[in-house]
Amino acid sequence: MIAPAADTASARSEVRGWKRTAMLFLAVLGPGMITANVDNDAGGIATYSIAGAHFGYSLLWTLVPITIALIVIQEMSARLGAITGKGLGELIRENYGLRATFYLLVALLVTDIGNTVAEFAGWAAALEIFGIPRIVSVPIGAFVVWWIVVKGNYKSVEKVFLIACTIYLTYILSALFAKPVWKDVLKQTFEPRIESSAAWILMIIGIVGTTIAPWMQFYLQSSIVEKRIGPEEYELSRWDVIVGCILTDVVAFFIIVACAATLFPKGIRIAGAEQAALALKPLAGKWAGTLFALGLANASLFAASILPLATAYSICEGLGFEAGVNKTWSEAPQFNTLYTGMIVIGAGIILIPGVPLFPVLFLSQVLNGLLLPFVLVFMCLLINRTDLMGEHVNGRVWNWVAWGTCLVMIGLTLVLVVTSIWPGLFPAH
């Protein structure tokens, strides 16, 4: 009577073969894909547009090492979450104390407020291309952001976000409309070329800085925990992360290509993504510009939904406050204050007439750069602790790549911070 149990138990729980794998993959899909895509936010699109317009195809090759670095770092975040079942803030606090965690989280808050301002700025600029003034678009955007999260639960919100991920494909269409010379594109993608001018170095730093941001590590790890992805599901979840990172940089690739094929040969200088969209219209057709602006609007709003949420969760998790979008103001006062406050500040600053946006964005970029090395070092330390990770600590090769990435990131961000404070450190040419 007992022997048949084996077959029946397995008959009930297991669908064998690729179908099962596919189903399981769809079940864990989300965190990696979403985090990586939000990475192409307003600031990211602006950076890639400028890279294409000012440097043509010559910076395309940098996307290859950047993708590898992104994958290595995001994979560690996901692995930390899956194995420990805890957020990054919680882990740092439990292992390195409250004071370190506190200052790290305060820095994260300030940085992310700056980033949120940037997202609403992107949203406002994109809708102005469609003739909608910011006095209308920004309050609507802020309300949508707030409503999605407060009224939705994690599962439905994740679906909305996954759909938003597909809108990024508009950039591929924009690039096709721009009719690039594919032979040159391919050649320059796989042929690294290094320059030594200040503008070139700053551009590289800009691209790296916009691709790997501190908030992502907190957000990805929390969503992995939230989605209840454990050690068993992790093998599949890893692919969610890898595919997400690759798609993100594919989108970045096409943004650069679109601008490089059209704006670069004419020598058009731009200062932001919305200017790229406007400049594309006469050169690559109305549709190229419209799709470009649509992508910017989507990316900005998408990131504006995630950033305040991710920040509020990270802080509450680390400091031990109640957190949850389904909790009332009195149940989770700190969480609600942080979340709502960030949206109000982010949207509010954009609405103040004549407010200088540049110092805000500049400060948040510098803070991003200062914060990132600390986050990365904590991650590298945590992931090598056998008491936390067991057999899932980094292997030797992975560790070399991870620490190498950390060092390069630290070096680049230091240069960024230094040149932000003392411009003209490098010769102009």
Binding site for another protein (CB under 8 A): 1-2, 4-10, 12-14, 84-86, 93-94, 97-99, 102, 153-154, 225-226, 228, 230, 313, 319-320, 323-326
Residue 322: C-alpha distances to residues 4, 116, 118, 242 (Å): 47, 23, 28, 32
In the structure encoding, which two tokens stand for residue 63, read together? 């996307």
Amino acid symbol at 417: V
- 31 vs 206, beta carbon nearer another protein: 31
- 100 vs 345, beta carbon nearer another protein: 100
User: Sign of dihedral through CA atoms 58, 216, 209, 406?
Assistant: negative
- 191 vs 232, beta carbon nearer another protein: 232
Smallest gap, in angstroms, from Cβ of residue 38 to another protein?
17
Smallest gap, in angstroms, from Cβ of residue 79 to another protein?
14
- Greatest extent of the chain over all pairs of C-alpha atoms, in Å: 83
- 45 vs 104, beta carbon nearer another protein: 104
Smallest gap, in angstroms, from Cβ of residue 17 to another protein?
14
Smallest gap, in angstroms, from Cβ of residue 34 to another protein?
14
- 39 vs 90, beta carbon nearer another protein: 90
Smallest gap, in angstroms, from Cβ of residue 321 to another protein?
9
Smallest gap, in angstroms, from Cβ of residue 339 to another protein?
12
- 10 vs 197, beta carbon nearer another protein: 10
Nearest to 358 by CA among 347, 348, 368, 366: 366
- 291 vs 307, beta carbon nearer another protein: 307
CA distance 75 to 395: 13
Smallest gap, in angstroms, from Cβ of residue 94 to another protein?
5
- 6 vs 428, beta carbon nearer another protein: 6
Smallest gap, in angstroms, from Cβ of residue 74 to another protein?
20
CA distance 205 to 196: 13
- 6 vs 397, beta carbon nearer another protein: 6
> Rounded to the nearest 5°, which phi and psi values hold at 195?
-115, 170
Smallest gap, in angstroms, from Cβ of residue 170 to another protein?
29
- 96 vs 287, beta carbon nearer another protein: 96
Smallest gap, in angstroms, from Cβ of residue 380 to another protein?
20
CA distance 253 to 62: 10
